[in-house]
Structures are given as C-alpha cells and as structure tokens.
Structure 1
Amino acid sequence: MKLKVCGMKYVENIREVAALNPDYLGFIFYDRSKRNFEGIIPEIPKGIKKTGVFVNEYLEIVLSLAEAYKLNALQLHGDESVAYIKELKDHLERSRQEKRLQKVEIIKVFGIKDTFDFSVLKPYEEVVDYFLFDTKGKERGGNGVTFDWTVLKDYNSTKPFFLSGGIGLNEAASVKEILKTDLPIYALDVNSKFETKPGLKSIKDLQKFKKDLSL
C-alpha cells in the first residue's frame, strides 16, 4: 500500500516528511488553497514522486510547473475533460522525448459525498493512470472529512485508485477494514488531519499512522 502526503508547503517540513519515505509528496498549485505552494522544493529521495495538484489550470501553466519542479505525477482536482487530459499527455510525451521530463503519472480526482455515478469514470480510464476519490466539500480537497466509503462497493473499474478525504489517526481502523476488501486501492492520501496548521505536517502523527498501518 502506497502513501501520499499532500499539501506540503514549508521547506524544513518537506525534508522531515520526506525522511519518512512516503511514496508521493503533493504540492498544491492553486492560489485559492491555504496550502498553495510557492518556492523551492528541497532535494528529496528519488523514490518519492513529486506530485503537482492542479484545479482547472491552463495547460501551459501545468506544463511549465511540471518542467520547473521536475514533477513525477499530476493530480487533476477540477473538472478537467478527457480531451484536456489527452492534450496534456501529448505535451508531456513531447517533453519526455526531449528529455525535459521523465514519465509523468496522471491522477484524476472525483469528489464523493453520499452517492456517486461511477459510469462517469469510463471515458477517463484510457487516459489516466489512477483515480483519486476525495470528499466532496466546500474546498477542493483538504476538508478534513471522510465520505461514505460504502459507496465504493459499486466501483466497477479495475483502474487502481487513491483513497482520500479526512483520513487521520482515528481512521486507521476503518482503513484496515476497507483494505481487506477486493477494491483496487493503490494508495492512501493524507493531508489536513495530520496538520498543526495548513501545510505543516506533524511528523509524530505521520510516524504513528505509518506504524499502525505497516506502511
């Protein structure tokens, strides 16, 4: 089971979290977010995938930031269409061929509250590497609330996904239970429940979470 720690903001905290060796570190490039990232990403272990989080952003800006920060994954948290993602992938492939980027994963986010029509995912299956299911709320992520995970029993795709939305230490037991199912959960995505303030993660709590779930 992979772990993604999202909403990183502060240089020293980035280093401390990276020392725990999560599989992904998320950096939010969305100026309406309290965790909007600007600045320098310090040197982190090569095995950690730097993930840029975008919301309905212009392709040119996504590509520019992907190249500037050498991102390994792009998380699309808005209403991005299949056509948008196809065009983005074409540009990313060109950048890879020109050796400006390595392979970049595409993660498409969908918000869930009490119900969800999983048929909307079908057109996206061929253009994304992973889905991410987050809690539908006032903010585009980082709401600190879990959605009703029983909705996922109707998930009818083989595409692996990230489970997100209000996951913290108190949810460890529930996470263990859902991981016993045959759902293709690829990674857990954590954020606000591990913060002492927006963007600043508690190392102690992350260590305990990793230990509780043997991550």
Structure 2
Amino acid sequence: MKLKICGMKYQENMKAIASLKPDYLGFIFYEKSPRNFTGTIAELPSGIKKTGVFVNASIDYIAEKTEQYGFKAIQLHGEETPQFCRELIQRLDVIYKRIEIFKVFSIKDDFNFNLLKPYEGIVDYFLFDTKGKEKGGNGYTFDWSALAKYPSKTPFILSGGIGLEEIDKIKTICKTDLPIYALDVNSKFETQPGLKNIEELIEFKKHIYPSDKRNKKTKL
C-alpha cells in the first residue's frame, strides 16, 4: 500500500518529509486553499512522484503546471467530467509518458457508487475524501463502512482526516478485500497549513508500514 502526503508548501519541510520516501507528495493549486502552492519545489528523490492537485482548473492550466513542475500524477478534486479527464489525458500524453490520474469523490455517510461508472477505464485511481466545507483538508474522516458497497475493481486511495488516531481503523480496513492502493494524509499531520510534523509521520509509518526501513528521520 502506497503513501501520499499532500498539501506540501515549504521547501525545508519538503526536504524533511522527502527523507521518509513517501510514494507521492501532493501540491495544491487552488487559491481558496490555505495550502495553495505558489513557490518552488525542492529537489526530491526520483522515487517520489510529484502530484499536482487541481479543482475545476482548465486543461491549459494543468498542462502548464505539469510542464513547470514535472508532475507524474494529477489529482482532480472538482466536478471534472469523464470527457474532461479523457481530454486531459490526451493532452498530457502528447508531451509526457503516461501520467497517473486520480479522480476525487467526497463521501459523508453514504455514497452512490454508480457515479463512478462513467470514469471506469479512464482514470487510474479513485480517491475518496471527506465531504465537508472545504475541498479537502477538513480534518475528519468519513464513515468508512460506506466502502463496504464498493463495486469496482479500480484501485482507490483512502483520504480524509487520516491521522494517528486512525491507525487501528486502517489496520482493520486493510484486512478486507477492498482494493486500497494508497493512503493520503494531510491536515492531521500539520502544525499549520502546509507544514507537516515529521515526528508524527514517522510514528504513523512505523505502525502502518512496519517493514519500511525508512521509518526514521534522515539528517539533512
């Protein structure tokens, strides 16, 4: 199971978090977010996939940022249609090798999984986040029991308010047959928006990824 750490914002913090070798680091391009990214991304190990997070952005804007920052994955957090996703993939594939596409759906207590069908075979992964006031980073989990009805074989990313308090719940849901591809963490590991607490992330990885020898802080 992969690990994505989202909402990165500060260079020195990026370097510290990168020392843990997460599989993905997310950078949010949404002006209404307190984690909106406008700076320079620090040099990262090649194994970390930089991920651009967008909310109802234009294909031109996403392509521009992808070229600027070298994204390997794109997370669509708005009301992007299947046709938009298809056109975005076609646009990016002209210039780059295949870029991974995550399509976000927000859940509170229940969810109509029929909404996923038009995206099947287009996007690489679904991402389930908590439905709340903000477009992500709401700081609390949705009812994971809703995922028991998940009908698809498309792998998904579990997101929304995941922190140290959810360790037991994560271990439980990982024992199911659900195709969980990755965990996506953000606000529950912050000291302020965009600034991650490396000690708490080390603790999290120690419990969820116990065989990972990288569960220690690397001197910079």
| Alignment TM-score > 0.5, same fold | yes
CA deviations 1:54-76 (Å, max 9, x no partner) are 00001100000001000000000
Query: Percent of pairs identical after alignment?
Result: 60
1:14-59 deviation per Cα after TM superposition (whole angstroms, max 9, x unaligned): 0000010000000000010000001110110011000000000011
Within a 5 Å distance, the mapping from 1:105-124 to structure 2 comes to 105-124=100-119
Match for residue 183 of structure 2? 188
Paired AA for residue 74 in structure 1: I
Aligned residue pair count: 210
Aligned to 1:142: 137
Normalised TM-score (structure 2): 0.94
In structure 1, stretches of 5+ residues that fail to align are 97-101
Residue 177 of structure 1 pairs with residue 182 of structure 2: no
Secondary structure (helix, strand or coil) at the match of 2:92 reads helix
Match of 1:162 in 2: 157
For residue 103 of structure 1, report the CA deviation from its aligned partner: 2.5
- Could you tell me which residue of structure 2 aligns to residue 66 of structure 1? 66
How far off its partner does 1:133 sit?
0.1
How big is the alpha-carbon RMSD for the aligned residues of Structure 1 and Structure 2? Answer: 0.7
> How many angstroms apart in 2 are the aligned matches of 1:85 and 1:12?
33
For 1:205, give the aligned amino acid. E
Residue type at the aligned position of 2:192: K
Amino acid at match of 2:124: D
The residue that corresponds to 1:99 in the other structure is none
Q: Deviations over 1:67-105 (max 9, x none)?
A: 100000000000000111111011011112xxxxx3310
Name segments (4+ residues, structure 1) moved above 6 Å: none
User: What corresponds to 1:39 in structure 2?
Assistant: 39
CA–CA separation in structure 1 for the residues paired with 2:78 and 2:205: 29
Q: TM (normalized to structure 1)? A: 0.97
Q: Secondary structure at the match of 1:110?
A: strand
1:3 is aligned to 2:13: no
Residue 77 of structure 1 is matched in structure 2 by 77
